[in-house]
Amino acid sequence: MSQNYTNIQYLKKIGIQGPPLLLLCINKEQIRLGKNGIYELNNGMNITSIGFVPKSEKDLFIMDFEY
């Protein structure tokens, strides 16, 4: 993200919508989306890294964020 947005050191809030059980990694911790396919993080934690591990090319997702 730092390539597209300047002066971003961390994210404050994120919202992710994707296929159920999609694997993602936030600040080096593995997380899976629940059965509803929605994940929100808004607890004051600074998000310094995020990654996604789709099973196939059809595992599309949307991520909203605030910095």
The per-residue pLDDT for range 3-20, each reduced to its tens digit, is: 677 788 899 999 999 999
Answer whether residue 38 is part of any domain. yes
Quick one: pLDDT at residue 2? Answer: 63
Answer whether residue 5 is part of any domain. no
Is residue 33 a contact partner of residue 22, using CB atoms and an 8 Å limit? yes
Number of domains in the chain: 1
Answer whether residue 2 is part of any domain. no
Quick one: pLDDT at residue 9? Answer: 86
pLDDT band at 62 (very low <50, low <70, confident <90, very high): very high
Answer whether residue 22 is part of any domain. yes
The answer to pTM > 0.75 is yes
Distance CA 14, CA 49 (A): 12
The stretch 19-48 carries a mean pLDDT of 95
Query: Which residues, 6 or more positions from 39, have their beta carbon under 8 angstroms from its beta carbon?
Result: 14, 15, 16, 24, 31, 33
The stretch 32-48 carries a mean pLDDT of 94
Answer whether residue 23 is part of any domain. yes
Answer whether residue 37 is part of any domain. yes
